[in-house]
Amino acid sequence: MDQLTQIHTIKGHEEAIWCLDWSPFGNLLASCGADKTIILWATVNGKFQQVQKFDDIHDRTIRKLSFSPDGRYLAAASFDGTISIYQKDHTGLFHLSMTLEGHENEVKGCTWSSNGIYLATCSRDKTVWIWELEGDNDIECVAVCAGHSQDVKAVSWHSPTNQLLSCSYDDSIKIWTEDIDEDDWFCTGTLRNHTSTVWDISFNAIGDTMASIGSKGKIILYTYNPSIESTWEVFQTIDDASELELYSVDWSRENILGVAGRDDHVHLYQKNNNTGKYELFSKTKAHEADVNTLSWNPTEPKILATGGDDGVINIWEISV
């Protein structure tokens, strides 16, 4: 069944890797983890090499990374309750530009909107914050969205509508929409299709399909339907993806769905055009411990990066 070929192994972190994120041009890979370190990697003569390292910015685990759509900024969310923002200079190097404070507890997620104007963050304090970038070294909080009853695990922007979705330990996904007249953000829908923690959510490239993953190895797939109140409706549930928790989900630009988690494997799904359902076509043991993150390269859609508790980054090539 394996259709993934490992083409690189990258070592540089001393503890578990929590997040990987490719720059929008696919030439840089950012990694972070429990060692409180951010490392930027690039290929030099066909091999990945460390090009920058930040190891003195945060006091606790760095949980999430997100490049802005234009590649000028990198945001990092930390368990120390802050978000660090790095800006690229004219030489192509990144430098700490700002540190955002306000969350009362561990920050677990961050993601830029597709227009690069907004940054969303989420926290153990049960809130989602929306920040607006108003210029170099100038970003301010424009909304604090309170609605979840437990930790918020992840946030993701739906590019076609600029809606923000968040998922939580409270087993739900909430939809946040901007009200231009009120100049504020409001919860306009709640999805309660999971019966346990929702660990992550992701949209495919064109934005017509969303995947959510959770405890007990469940994957739920939704289709965008603006005619219903929640705007998202379930069209497929995969109950047996794994017997253990799934932690990370991401779509390739070629509409391949990748998920990974506690079973140390990467699971890949592809749409059957005859049935409209997604089917497993590859299951690969990717690490010697939990796989915490996977990320498809945005410009080379057959390249996948994974990171796990073993502190290793693996780069894979898919053959379909």
- List, for residues 123-159, the tens digit of each pLDDT value: 999 999 999 998 777 899 999 999 999 999 999 999 9
Q: Which pLDDT belongs to residue 228?
A: 83
Distances in whole angstroms, Cα of residue 206 to Cα of each of 160, 202, 224: 8, 12, 11
Q: Kindly report the CA angle at 46 between 40 and 51, in degrees rounded to 5?
A: 20
Please tell me the pTM assigned to this model.
0.95
Helices (H), 54-138: none
Place of tokens 């104007």: 117
Do 106 and 92 contact (CB within 8 A), yes or no?
Answer: no
pLDDT at 201 over 90: yes
CB atoms within 10 A of CB 312: 19
Measure the N-to-C terminal CA separation of the chain; round to a whole number of Å.
Answer: 11
Residue type, 185: W
Q: If you average pLDDT over every residue of the chain, what do you get?
A: 95
Residue 71 burial class via C-beta count within 10 angstroms: exposed 0-12, middle 13-18, buried 19 and up? middle
